[in-house]
Structure formats: C-alpha cells, structure tokens
C-alpha cells in the first residue's frame, strides 16, 4: 500500500524534478548535446503521454498517432513559409488542424473495434503521410526547412536552448497533469469502464462512443502541439515525422514504460530514445538488435519499466 | 386500483427472432405490470436470455414491438433504453473487475446524472456521488465490501453486485437474468429479501431457475419452451398446469 | 486522357490489385482463422523477392529462382512461426502488433545488411519478355499480363481449396466461429501451421512475381502491407471473396486515381491549383474510399463474423 502510493505520486514527482534539472546539469558540464537530446525526448514524451491516455485508459490502439506530430509540425512550417512566425497564431492553428483530423478520422474509426481500429488508424496515418509527400509546393518528399523559430510575443524564448527546453518541459508537465486529473474524473471512469466491459456500460445507459471520441480528439490535439514544438526544435518538417514506423515506435514507448499510468509513457519515451541513441552508437544496424529486443519485451516484460520498478 | 388493473410498464407484442433455421423467439407477447414481479421460467436454451437481449436492445428482433412505459422503444439502442429506465443484470456476470465495488455502483449512479463530460473533479472524492452509491450497497448488504476490487469478490457476491448496479441506475423496470445462479444459500436469501422489498417500487422481469425463489417472489409466471410461451398466469395456476409439467419438467416434478 | 492510356492504366491497376490480393489473402486467412494480426506479412513478401533474386544470382534461371524463392520463403515463414508467432496466438492484438513490428524492424535491417540498401532487380524470363500488341497501337509487356493471369489462377485455386477441401471447410468454419472448430477436436496447431505456411507462400509468391517490375529494396513490403490492410478492412476481415473484390477495387482506384486525378481536378480548378491538388487527392483516394465503406458497413463489404 505504502509503496503503491509512493510510486503513484513519488515517482512522477521525482521524474519531473530530475527533468527540470537537466539544463542545470548541461550548464555545469557544458554539455549542449544533452540539453538538445533531452528536448527531443520530452517532445516525444508529450506525444507518448497523449497516446497512453487513449491506449492505456481507453484501449484505443491507435497506429496512426505519428500523423498528429506531422500535421502539427506542418501547420507551423507552412505558416513560417508564408512568413507567419507568431506562435500565438501557429500553435493554436496546429492544434486545431489536429483536432479536426482526429474528429473526422476518429468518428469513423471508432465505429469499429479491435483489429479494424488498429488497421484503420494506420491507414489514416498513411493518408496524412502521402498527402504531405505530394505537397510539392512545400517540399514534398524532401520536407520543408524553416529558416528560424516561432516567435512568442517578441520574447525570443524559442531561440534559447534552455528557454526552449523549459517551454517543452512546461507543455509536458501541463499535459501530464491535465490528463492525469481527467483519468480520475467521471469522464476518466467512463473511459476505463468501457475498456473493462462495454456491454455493462451500455446497460447502465452510457454509450462509450462520444467519450472515446472526445479522448481521441484530445490526444490528437496534444500530439499536434508536440508536433508544433518538434518543427521548432528541428527547424525542419518532413513527411518522415508521420511514417507508420514512427507510430509503431510511439506505441513501443508506451508499452516499454508501462501503459495506463501516463508517467510510464514518459519513462518509456526516455528509455526508447536513450536505447536508440546508445545502440546506434555501436552500429548503424541497431534495429537488428532492437527488433528482437522488442519481441522479448512483448513476450516476457509485462508491465514495462513501471512493472519492473514495482517489482511485481 | 389493484395491481392487475395498473397500466403495464412493459409490453412485448409478437416478438420473433431467428438465428438461421433456429427460431429462438416465437411470437412472444408478454406484459409486466407496475408493482409486480413477473417471472420467466423455462428449460436451458428456451430463449430466455435472447428475449432479455431484445428487450434491452442488444439483439434486434426480426419482427414485433417493445413498448416500455407507454413508448415504443423498438428502434432505440441499448444505452438509450437504459437511460429511459430499463435496468439489467446479466446471466454471465458483467461487472467492471478492475474497479472497486463502490466504483462499480458509483458509475451507474453517475450514468443516471446524464452526461459524464465532467473532466476535472476527482470522482473518488465526490462525496455526493459516493454517498448515493453507498445507499445501494447498503440495500444489498455489501457495505463492508465497498473498497474491495470487484474482480476479487466471490462468485455469489459478484451476482449481488450485478443487482446493486442495476438498482443504482434508478430503473423503472429491472430485467434480471438468473440473479441467483451460483449464489450460496445465504446470498440467495438476501437477494430474495431485497427483491421482495423492492417490487412495489420497481417492477421486475425475473428469469430464474431456482424455483423456490421464483415461487416466493413472483406475482405471475410465464413459461417459455423452445421460444414459445406455453403458459402464463398466477403461480398456483402454473404449478398445476399439466402442459407446463409435461413440457418443462417431463411429467414428474416438485414444482 | 486517351483511351490507350486508360486501357494501360486499367491493366496496371488490375496488376496492382492482383498483387494486393496475393498479400491480402494470406493476411485475411491468418487473421480469420487464428485471430492473429501479422504485421510481418509484408516483410514476407519482401523476403520472397530477395530470395528469388538470390536464387537467380545462383542459378541464372528465373524459373529455378521462382522455385527456390518459394521454398525458402516458406522455410523462413515456418521458422518465424516456430520462434515467435506461435507464442502470440493467445495474446491480445496489441502484443501481436508490437512483436510482429519487432520482426519487421529486424528483417528490414537484416536484408539491408545482407544485400545492401541499393535496389536490386530480377530480370523477367525470356519466355515472358517483350510486349505484345493488344488493340490497335497498344503494346503491353507480356510479363505483366502473365502476372495478372497467374494471379487470377492462384485466386481460382484458392477458391477451390477453400470451398472444396476439408482444410478449406475448417478454414471457413474457423473464420466464422473459432471456438466451434476447437471444440470439434481439430488439431488446431496443425491447421494453424498449414494456414500460416500457405499465407506465407502467397506473400512470397507475390514478392517474386513483383520483383521483375518493381525494385527489390528493404522496406518494399511496408507500403503494400498497409494497402493490404485497407483491402481486408474494406473486404471484411476473414473473407477471401471480399479480399479479392476489394483488392481489385483498391488497385484500380489507386492506379487510375494517380494517373487521372490532376486531369479531373483541372475540370474544377485552375491548372496551377490542380497540379497541386491532384496528386494530394490521388494519394488520399483509397483512404477516402475505405472511410466511406466503413461508414456504411463497419465490418467491411463481406463481413464474416457478426462481431
Ligand atoms: N448469436 C446466436 N447465434 C445462434 N444461436 C444462438 C445465438 N444466441 C443464442 N442462440 C441459441 O438460441 C437458443 C436460446 O438461447 P438463450 O441463451 O436465449 O437460452 P436461455 O433460455 O437463456 O438458456 P439458459 O437457461 O441456459 O440461460 C439456444 O439454443 C442458443 O444456442
Ligand atoms: Mg440464459
């Protein structure tokens, strides 16, 4: 009981404290790489948290979640191409585009269940991917380079390594807290209840569809916000952001960390990115190692990192 | 006004359902009046659960109509019918195993409040919600189990929880599919007492194999055999009906 | 848009449809009977192509390469089944997706290590080389026609197998009601092996047949895999008939859409805009089609299971 309370509150708190201290570490050891790498990780962590919200709590195995990163990024990139740099325009727009895409594709996908849902979200993800590859005016296959970063009311906060890191950190923290609160609300109970027994939910008068769709749109919107950050971080957007491999990796992050806790997704994102970085340091063919590793994790590593920490 | 003159809360009009060549519901017409428990009995595979499915909306009949509280609900979905006041317990226990007993009931209470688009207030510390849920736990005598994970309950307790969930939706009619199946004698007795006390407020369509419970509770009994209602009437008449004894019990019985 | 172009593109569409069918058939069979979603089905298509190229390099004969490719593809499939897949049959779909995703990562990379990242090719056999005139001035490569014909042949064979044989009967029964088949005391393990091996061969065959006309490269199975998903979702998971029909529809819509979308867009838009919108629209077409089908029929055109 004690340890459960500790891991439920203490672990995420400790995690965020450590993450908040990264720029300090980078400053003391003059390690810019760590700061940039951590920024990238946290952006993925935002996406992974949003995916865990629908996957872990709502059992919606979305295999097209990377599409939102790309859509959010393209919204920012295309606006920049037209010389619109103001974040207060581009960020809400990125989120709105993603919300709309999630609303339309989710409304159709959620009419189906199980494996149909997996395949359909995958297919819609591919649709977004191929659509951007055919945007010849915006670089097509090659992507689009941004010649700068978004502007936040003339502050230039997006340009400093440390300030940008804290923006990303803030978005992650806010996303985590908002979603966490929601999972405990009446809304969250409906999501979790529908996952456990849909027939029971309907018999008490709750049709899970609208609630699932709401969660789906919310997750897409948050992932889109992360995409907008990603465009700024890389100063480049390309269709590769939304390849289905990326969607697969996002699911891996969630499972690797331990799904259905939200902070597990953050741990998973960190672990995945560090693993990728380390393995690819040894060999460019790191997938040769990671592929079998993933299979082993699926077969024998139930509960992910959080499961291991709890020492079940 | 006596009970028998009251307007029926549920009226089934000529329901039919076939699975391929198998005619599982044959021209079934039946009423449940306000204030009564109407028991539906019949041998295994008679089509009782299928009938409940059609009433609650999870199975679409091939023909016929379902009138609930004066309204034709035939074209409504399961959740819509539930919101109109059709409560249901399942023959195969359908609780939410990862939630606590209290949370299972609280969810049914929250469903009655209309939509659940409440995002920020923590449900577990929503005193108003929990207090309302506790009333139903109290009613079925499960207060002591409130904090337990529903999946960890004994089989009998799960059956009781099923009934508590159905009650918590504040139904105008309860469809109970073998609530006493597999419960121990103590729980059976508890359920009989609870249902008996409630029937004035909540009419019920009760499917049950436990004949002693049926005869303690039922105001009327209908007998379903091979999808067809072969007899319907007061318990005493059913007990004496030779056709029922023949078809349902193969002649010799302690009905 | 000339009629000749239309005819050629229709044939190309059919040819894509046939390839998709060969891949989708295995996918839908395996899913229908075993409730197993195998993302690695696409890399099995790729393996077929690579193994045939290797066979060709060894023997110099397309026909020997075809046989070697098929045999090795089957062998690889069975090894994968033995090592990984059979541990996944009773897992949930999420686990199946992730583990087979791991297989994809591994095999795509392994192929890169063994054969390099550069595209390879397999020459078409002499017998099927060249082109023949179809109508007036339309020339069409013989090999592509042969591909269409052999694909139709396989489809017919599959139809006979599924409708006329005992295994086929079990396959159909398994797709509609898996528990019943298990209850009948059928050796499920063996049935799974047969179905899985057969699906692998079909994917391998598709890869080999595609090798002379598409470039053989790492990841070549990924895009087709997703198209095959669209096919079986539209057709109804578990339905061979649905897969066949949907494969042809998707193949035709995709191919014709890509060649004519810009022209069609020009009917409604100024040329400059049409040049941008056309290709984007073309690449969305099959997904829009899928969405439309699912909107009206959430379990596809030929639903097998009433779930
Ligand atoms: N989806 C279905 N498809 C085909 N047949 C079905 C289906 N559902 C039920 N049946 C058949 O309909 C008949 C009636 O089943 P039902 O479950 O309604 O019986 P029941 O009276 O509730 O039996 P029990 O007392 O065992 O609960 C059975 O023969 C059953 O096999
Ligand atoms: Mg029954």
Q: What is the pLDDT of residue A5?
A: 64
Chain A residue numbers with beta carbons less than 8 Å from the beta carbon of C232 are 119
Q: Do B118 and A187 touch (CB under 8 A)?
A: yes
Task: Write out chain A's pLDDT in tens, 312 residues.
Answer: 556 666 678 899 999 999 999 999 999 999 999 999 999 999 999 999 999 999 999 999 999 999 999 999 999 999 999 988 888 999 999 999 999 999 999 999 999 888 889 989 999 999 999 889 888 888 888 899 998 888 788 787 888 899 999 999 999 999 999 999 999 999 999 999 999 999 999 999 999 999 999 999 999 999 999 999 999 999 999 999 999 999 999 999 999 999 999 999 999 999 999 999 999 999 999 999 999 999 999 999 888 888 888 765
Pinpoint the alpha helices (H) of A197-239: 198-203, 208-234
Q: What is the mean pLDDT of chain C?
A: 87
Q: What is the pLDDT of residue B4?
A: 46
Q: Is B178 helix (H, G, I), strand (E, B) or coil?
A: coil
Q: What is the pLDDT of residue B1?
A: 43
Q: How many residues does chain A have?
A: 312
Using one digit for the tens of pLDDT, what is the confidence trace for C258-279?
Answer: 888 888 888 888 887 777 778 8
Domain-by-domain residue ranges, chain C?
3-296
Q: With cut-offs at 50, 70 and 90, classify the pLDDT of residue C138.
A: confident
CA-based diameter of chain C, in Å? Answer: 66
Whether residue A24 contacts residue A204, with contact meaning beta carbons closer than 8 Å, is answered with no
Determine the average pLDDT of the residues in C136-152: 86
Q: What is the pLDDT of residue B150?
A: 96
| Ligand 1 binding pocket, CB closer than 6 Å | B 19, 22, 24, 42, 44-50, 91
Using one digit for the tens of pLDDT, what is the confidence trace for B82-136?
Answer: 999 999 999 999 999 999 999 999 999 999 888 889 998 999 889 999 999 999 9
CA of B16 to the centre of ligand 1 (A): 14
Chain A residue numbers with beta carbons less than 8 Å from the beta carbon of B129 are 186
Q: Which atom of ligand 1 is nearest to the CA of B209?
A: 25
> Among C172, C230, C232, C235, which Cα is nearest to C33's?
C172
Cα(B93)–Cα(B87) distance, rounded to whole angstroms?
14
Q: What residues form DSSP beta bridges with B222?
A: B40, B232
Whether residue C255 contacts residue C12, with contact meaning beta carbons closer than 8 Å, is answered with yes
Residues of A with CB under 8 A from a CB of B: 181-182, 184-190, 192-193, 196-197, 199-207, 211, 214
Pinpoint the alpha helices (H) of chain B: 48-56, 78-83, 101-112, 127-139, 155-168, 185-198, 211-217, 235-240, 242-249
B82 touches chain A (CB under 8 A): yes
Q: Is residue B173 over pLDDT 70? A: yes
Determine the average pLDDT of the residues in C27-43: 88
Using one digit for the tens of pLDDT, what is the confidence trace for C210-255?
Answer: 999 988 999 899 889 999 999 999 998 888 889 999 999 999 999 9
Q: Which of A114, A126, A137 has its CB closest to that of C226?
A: A126
Cα(C184)–Cα(C180) distance, rounded to whole angstroms?
6
Q: Which atom of ligand 1 is nearest to the CA of B52?
A: 18
Q: With cut-offs at 50, 70 and 90, classify the pLDDT of residue B152.
A: very high
Q: Is residue B249 over pLDDT 80? A: no
Q: What percent of chain C has pLDDT over 70?
A: 98
Cα A200 vs. chain centroid, distance in angstroms? 31
Which one is the CATH code of C3-296: 3.30.1340, 3.40.50, 1.10.3470, 1.20.1740? 1.10.3470
Residues 6 or more apart whose Cβ sits within 8 Å of residue A161: A23, A26, A32, A35, A36, A39
What tokens does A122 get? Answer: 């995958």
Q: Could you tell me the CA-to-CA distances from A176 to A49, B39, C27 in Å, in that order?
A: 7, 51, 38
Measured in angstroms, the CA of C187 and the nearest CA of chain A are apart by: 24
Q: Please, is C276 exposed, middle or buried when counting C-beta atoms within 10 Å of its C-beta (0-12, 13-18, 19+)?
A: middle
- ipTM metric: 0.91
B151 touches chain A (CB under 8 A): no
Q: Which residue has the higher pLDDT, B76 or C240?
A: B76
Q: Is B11 helix (H, G, I), strand (E, B) or coil?
A: strand
B108 touches chain A (CB under 8 A): yes
Q: Is residue B251 over pLDDT 50? A: no
Determine the average pLDDT of the residues in B227-249: 85
| Domain architecture of chain B: domains with CATH | 10-88+173-190+200-250 (3.40.50.300)
Optimal mutation site among A59, A188, A202, A203, interface B, most CBs of chain B within 10 A: A203
Q: Which of A185, A190, A202 has its CB closest to that of B122?
A: A185
């Amino acid at each position: 009981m004690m340890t459960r309370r500790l891991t439920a509150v203490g672990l995420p708190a400790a995690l965020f404290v450590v993450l908040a201290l990264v720029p300090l570490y980078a400053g003391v050891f003059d390690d810019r790489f760590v700061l940039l790498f951590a920024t990238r990780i946290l952006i993925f962590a935002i996406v992974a948290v949003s995916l865990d919200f629908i996957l872990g709590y709502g059992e919606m195995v979305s295999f097209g979640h990377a599409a939102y990163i790309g859509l959010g990024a393209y919204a920012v990139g295309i606006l920049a191409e037209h010389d619109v740099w103001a974040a207060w325009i581009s960020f809400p727009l990125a989120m709105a585009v993603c919300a709309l895409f999630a609303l339309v594709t989710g409304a159709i996908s959620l009419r189906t269940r199980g494996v149909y849902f997996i395949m359909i979200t995958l297919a819609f993800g591919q649709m977004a991917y191929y659509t951007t590859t055919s945007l010849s005016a915006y670089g097509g296959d090659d992507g689009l380079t941004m010649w700068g970063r978004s502007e936040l009311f003339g502050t230039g906060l997006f340009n400093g390594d440390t300030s940008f890191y804290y923006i990303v950190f803030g978005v992650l923290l806010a996303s985590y807290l908002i979603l966490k609160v929601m999972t405990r609300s009446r809304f969250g109970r409906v999501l979790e209840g529908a996952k456990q027994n849909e027939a029971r939910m309907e018999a008490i008068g709750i049709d899970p569809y609208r609630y699932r769709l709401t969660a789906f749109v919310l997750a897409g919107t948050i992932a889109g916000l992360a995409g907008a950050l990603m465009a700024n971080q890389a100063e480049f957007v390309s269709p590769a952001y939304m390849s289905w491999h990326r969607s697969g990796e996002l699911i891996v992050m969630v499972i690797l960390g331990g799904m259905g806790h939200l902070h597990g997704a953050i741990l998973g994102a960190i672990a995945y990115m560090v693993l990728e970085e380390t393995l690819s340091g040894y060999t460019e063919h790191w997938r040769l190692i990671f592929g079998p590793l993933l299979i082993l994790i699926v077969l024998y590593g139930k509960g992910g990192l959080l499961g291991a920490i709890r020492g079940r | 006004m006596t009970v028998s003159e009251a307007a029926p809360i549920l009226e089934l009009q000529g329901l039919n359902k076939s699975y391929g060549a198998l005619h599982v519901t044959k021209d079934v017409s039946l009423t449940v009046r306000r204030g009564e428990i109407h028991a539906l009995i019949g041998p295994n595979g008679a089509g009782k659960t299928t009938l409940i499915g059609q009433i609650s909306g999870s199975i679409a009949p091939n023909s016929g109509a379902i009138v609930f509280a004066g309204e034709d609900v035939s074209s409504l979905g399961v959740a819509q019918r539930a919101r109109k006041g059709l409560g249901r317990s399942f023959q195969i226990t359908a609780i939410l195993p990862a939630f606590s007993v209290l949370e299972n009931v609280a969810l049914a209470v929250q469903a009655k409040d209309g939509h659940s688009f409440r995002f920020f207030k923590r449900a577990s510390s929503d005193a108003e919600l929990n207090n309302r849920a506790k009333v139903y736990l109290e009613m079925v005598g499960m207060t002591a189990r409130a904090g337990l994970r529903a999946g960890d309950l004994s089989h009998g307790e799960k059956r009781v929880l099923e009934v508590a969930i159905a009650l918590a939706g504040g139904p105008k009619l309860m469809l109970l599919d073998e609530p006493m199946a597999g419960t121990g004698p103590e729980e059976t007795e508890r359920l009989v007492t609870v249902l008996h006390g409630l029937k004035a407020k909540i009419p019920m369509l009760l499917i049950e194999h436990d004949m002693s419970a049926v005869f303690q509770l039922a105001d009327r009994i209908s007998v379903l055999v091979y999808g067809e209602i072969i007899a319907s009437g007061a318990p005493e008449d059913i007990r004496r009906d030779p056709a029922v004894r023949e078809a349902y019990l193969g002649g010799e019985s302690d009905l | 848009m000339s009629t000749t172009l239309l005819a050629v593109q229709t044939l190309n569409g059919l040819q894509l449809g046939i390839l998709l069918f060969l891949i989708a058939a295995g996918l839908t069979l395996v899913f229908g009977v075993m409730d197993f979603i195998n993302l690695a089905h696409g890399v099995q298509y790729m393996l077929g192509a690579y193994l045939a190229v290797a066979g060709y390099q060894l023997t110099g004969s397309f026909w020997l390469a075809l046989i070697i490719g098929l045999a090795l593809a089957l062998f690889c499939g069975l090894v994968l089944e033995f090592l990984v897949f059979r541990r996944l049959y009773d897992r949930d779909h999420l686990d199946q997706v992730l583990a087979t995703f791991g297989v994809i990562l591994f095999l795509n990379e392994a192929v890169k290590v063994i054969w390099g990242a550069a595209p390879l090719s397999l020459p078409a056999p002499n017998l099927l080389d060249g082109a023949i005139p179809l109508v007036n001035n339309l020339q069409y490569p013989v090999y592509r026609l042969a591909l269409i014909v052999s694909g139709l042949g396989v489809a017919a064979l599959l139809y006979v197998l599924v409708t006329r044989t005992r295994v086929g009967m079990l396959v159909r029964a398994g797709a509609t009601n898996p528990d019943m088949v298990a209850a009948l005391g059928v050796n499920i393990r063996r049935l799974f092996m047969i179905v899985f091996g057969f699906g692998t061969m079909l994917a391998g065959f598709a890869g080999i047949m595609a090798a002379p006309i598409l470039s053989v490269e790492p990841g070549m199975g990924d895009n087709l895999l997703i198209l095959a998903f669209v096919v079986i979702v539209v057709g109804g998971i578990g339905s061979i008939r649905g897969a066949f029909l949907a494969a042809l529809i998707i193949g035709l819509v995709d191919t014709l859409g890509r060649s004519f979308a810009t022209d069609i867009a020009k009917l409604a838009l100024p040329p400059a805009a049409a040049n941008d919108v056309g290709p984007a629209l073309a690449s969305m077409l099959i997904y829009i089609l899928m969405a439309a089908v699912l909107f009206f029929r959430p379990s596809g055109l030929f639903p097998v299971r009433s779930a």
